[in-house]
Structure 1
Amino acid sequence: MSGANMDHWPERTDLAATFQWAARLNMHEGVANHFSLAVDEDGTQFLINPNQVHFSNIRASDLLLLDANDPDVLSGPNAPDPTAWGLHASIHRQCPHARCLMHTHSIWATVLACLEDSTLLPIDQNTATFFNRYVVDDAFGGLAFEDEGIRCAKMLSDPAKKVMVMGNHGVLVVGASVADTFNRLYYFERAAETYVRALQTGQKLRVLSDDIAEKTARELDDYPGQADAHLREIRMRLDAENNIYAQ
């Protein structure tokens, strides 16, 4: 392990743990999809998974440290996946409030993204969590190279919008930390599953009022310590199994 790969070690181990747990939950896409974390004040230096490595094989020391303003990143010897660079570098460059980004093609969120109307109606506590806190991208333009990444970054300029339902593609979640972002990713997938399964019944949905949905979302915005506890418990489980994430 090189000395450079020891930099930002607490951040590396947190991020690596979420790759492992996402794989455990089948929220991965083979050797595709990417999580990143800004590690400097302006958000342009960031950690991200190495190119073409399965989530279940990612260790803290494997994570790449990239500079979103370096035009030569893709020509280097340890270049990231081009779509990871196109999407994540663009957002880290343009949205400094988005400290951590998690993009997946997780099943239920992707099903939601493939509906003609990808609105997530507030029908329970989890779906209400995201009321007025997500955007729907209905202009999918192909793989997330630089132009697509820049377009997506513009849609996340509002710090209140923490989730992008990427129409015909998947989901992108942003947050203030690894714990905050992974917790949001987990609950969005749960919310999407509940909503899609409810639609599958063919029965009329019991939709919460806007007032109650917003009240619920605000209460969960401020719910004390849940995200940090979620990640702590994940790490404890992985440590008990002698998982490779912290190597």
Structure 2
Amino acid sequence: MEITELQKDLAATFRWTARLNMHEGVANHFSACVPGSTTDFYVNKAGIHFSQIKASDLILVTKENINDLKNEPNLIDPTAINIHGTIHQKVPHAKCIFHVHSKYATALSTLRDPIMKPIDQNTMIFYNRVSVFNEFGGLGFEDESIKMANALGNKQHMLLANHGVITTGETVAEGFNYLYYFEKAAETYLTALATNKELNVVSNEVAEKTAQETSDYPIDLAKLHLEQIRLILDKEEPEYKN
């Protein structure tokens, strides 16, 4: 079967996430729906380190084979197929889903109040655009995944209290770009909190305006970001496309 550009894009994001040290070895998972579908999606094969994932390591999950794949935990991590399968099905706007336990997003998720205040451009990107799943009940098996999907609702991203983060996008580039900037935003916010000085929080109006301006930016920076990542990987780790 021919490897698609969608698979190559997704494989590149795994490799880059490893370079950024935002991975947990062979844990965590990304997925992307086949164009035109909300039920069929690619997700990473179980047991492969993020730094080693290739396009051919992405397994196609369909509405016809999903139940069979749930019985093959050595092929797809059970939490991956449950979390991504459930969210893709129940939240149609989540075409691509990125889930990690990265350092700063996870630290943020452990705070009693994990909502980032709008203190810089990166934190403002996520103003009023992140839901919080406050009902941690164990690993992301079926019941937990249904609660996650319900908590995401019409928001684009979700902080999983005591767990990590999920970002989504219409494209691989968009979803990954949000993941990248969420981690940067969380790092800035936690660093600012660590000073024990009063935060200079912008007004709700300015935060919303900045978030909307970012969303409506005339240049597709997410697409350019992923293109540059792939250019680097094409030179340094071209096997990611295989």
Question: Into which bin does the TM-score normalised by the smaller protein fall?
Answer: over 0.9
Name the structure 1 match of 2:16. Answer: 21
The alpha-carbon deviation at position 72 of structure 1 amounts to: 1.9
Is 1:84 paired with 2:80?
yes
Is 1:59 paired with 2:27?
no
Gaps of 5+ in 2: none
Q: In structure 1, what is the Cα distance between the partners aligned to 2:72 and 2:80?
A: 15
Q: Residue 68 of structure 1 contacts residue 90 of structure 1 at CA under 8 Å; is this kept in 2?
A: no
Name the structure 1 match of 2:40. Answer: 45
The structure 2 residue matched to 1:179, chosen from 170, 173, 195, is: 173
Name the structure 2 match of 1:209. Answer: 203
The letter of the residue matching 1:118 is P
Q: Residue 46 of structure 2 contacts residue 73 of structure 2 at CA under 8 Å; is this kept in 1?
A: no
Q: What is the SS of the residue equivalent to 1:165?
A: strand
Q: In structure 2, what is the Cα distance between the partners aligned to 1:220 and 1:41?
A: 26
The alpha-carbon deviation at position 216 of structure 1 amounts to: 0.3
Q: Residue 135 of structure 1 contacts residue 155 of structure 1 at CA under 8 Å; is this kept in 2?
A: yes
The alpha-carbon deviation at position 75 of structure 1 amounts to: 2.1
Q: What is the SS of the residue equivalent to 1:234?
A: helix
Name the structure 2 match of 1:149. Answer: 145
Q: In structure 2, what is the Cα distance between the partners aligned to 1:186 and 1:241?
A: 21
The letter of the residue matching 2:135 is A
The two structures, once aligned, show a CA RMSD in angstroms of 1.3
Q: In structure 1, what is the Cα distance between the partners aligned to 2:159 and 2:73?
A: 33
The alpha-carbon deviation at position 76 of structure 1 amounts to: 4.3
Q: What is the aligned length? A: 240
Name the structure 1 match of 2:227. Answer: 232
Q: In structure 2, what is the Cα distance between the partners aligned to 1:133 and 1:164?
A: 8
The alpha-carbon deviation at position 243 of structure 1 amounts to: 3.2
Q: What is the SS of the residue equivalent to 2:98?
A: strand
Describe the shift of the 1:77–1:88 C-alpha distance in structure 2 as closer, same or farther (beyond 3 A).
closer
Q: What is the SS of the residue equivalent to 2:229?
A: helix
Using the size of structure 2 for normalisation, the TM-score is 0.96
The alpha-carbon deviation at position 42 of structure 1 amounts to: 3.3
Identity of aligned residues (%): 50
Q: What is the SS of the residue equivalent to 1:43?
A: coil
1:134-174: per-residue Cα shift (whole Å, max 9, x none)?
A: 0111111100001111111112221xx12101000000011
The alpha-carbon deviation at position 67 of structure 1 amounts to: 1.7
Q: What is the SS of the residue equivalent to 1:173?
A: strand
The structure 2 residue matched to 1:197, chosen from 191, 195, 201, is: 191
Q: Residue 68 of structure 1 contacts residue 92 of structure 1 at CA under 8 Å; is this kept in 2?
A: no
Q: Residue 113 of structure 1 contacts residue 169 of structure 1 at CA under 8 Å; is this kept in 2?
A: yes
Q: Residue 133 of structure 1 contacts residue 163 of structure 1 at CA under 8 Å; is this kept in 2?
A: yes
Gaps of 5+ in 1: none
Is 1:107 paired with 2:78?
no
Q: What is the SS of the residue equivalent to 1:64?
A: strand
